[in-house]
Amino acid sequence: MKFVCRHWYTIGLFVSIFALAALLIRWGNMSVLLRLNTISFIAMLLHQFEEYGCPGGEPSIMNRVLQGSDIPDRYPLNQFSAMFTNVFFAYVIYLLPILFPQVIWLGIAPMLMGMMQFAVHGIMTNIKLKSIYNPGLGAVILLHIPVGVTYIRYITIHRLASGGTWAAGIIYTITATGFILGFLTYVAFSDRNTKWVFAPEELKRFHVEEKLARKGIEIKVNDPNGTLARVEKLKHRMAERRTHTG
C-alpha cells in the first residue's frame, strides 16, 4: 500500500502508455465513442502525472496555496486520499465509458469533469499563484477540453443524448465530484494526525514556496472563514452526532 500511495501517478503514466498503444493498434476497429472515451481516460492519467509527477507540486498547491493549511504535507490532502480519489476517478469514472461506450450518460460525466478542471487550473490556481500555468493545466487545454467538445458535438449531431440522458450525466457528474472530491478528500480521509504524509520531494516539485516568496504572495493560514474552517466545523458536528447516537 505504501508503494502504491507514493507512486500511483507514475503507475498511471505507464498505464496511459499501454492504453495509447492499444488505441493506435485497434483504432480502425473502434467506434468513435470508444476512441474518444479511451483518449479521455489517457488524458486523465496524464493530467494526474502532470499534477503530481512532472512538473508536480499538487500537494503544495492544494494544501498550501488553495487551502491555507498550516501542515501542507498532510492536511487536508494526504498521500492516501490523493491516491484513493484519483485512482477511483481514473479507473472507475473514466474507465466505465470504455467498457460501456453506448451508455452515453456514463461518457458525459468524465467529459464534463475534465473540462471543468479549467475552473481550478485555468482560473483559481493561476489567480492565487499570479501565473499563467500550473501543473494540470496542460492536460486540460490540450486534451480534456478538445476531447470533451468533440464528444459533445458528436453525440449532439448524431442525436445520441436525450434530455434524460443529459440530466443523468449532469447528476452523475455533480454527485461523483461532490462525494469523491468533496466528502472523501475533505471530510472522510482528512486527518491532521494521518500517517500518510507526502514525501518532501512531492512537496518541493514545481517550487511552489519559491514562487510564492519571489512574487511576494502571502497565503492566509487557517483562515477562519476558509474551506478548512468549515470542514472542521462539519467534522466536529458529525463527531458530536456519533457520540450522541452511540
Q: How far apart are CA 82 and CA 216, in angstroms?
A: 29
Looking at residue 75, what is its pLDDT? 95
Contact 180, 77 (CB under 8 A): no
Q: How far apart are CA 52 and CA 45, in angstroms?
A: 11
DSSP string, 170-229: HHHHHHHIIIIIIIIIIIIS--TT-S-PPPHHHHHGGGHHHHHHHHT--PPTT-TTSHHH
Displacement of CA 40 from its chain's centroid (Å)? 13
- The identity of residue 44, as a single letter, is M
What are 7's three cell numbers?
507512486
Q: Return the domain boundaries, the chain.
A: 2-245
Q: Which residues of the chain have pLDDT under 50?
A: none
Buried b (16+ CB within 10 A) or exposed e, 225-236: ebebeebbeeee
Looking at residue 244, what is its pLDDT? 67
Nearest Cα residue to 126 out of 61, 182, 72? 61
Contact 197, 69 (CB under 8 A): no
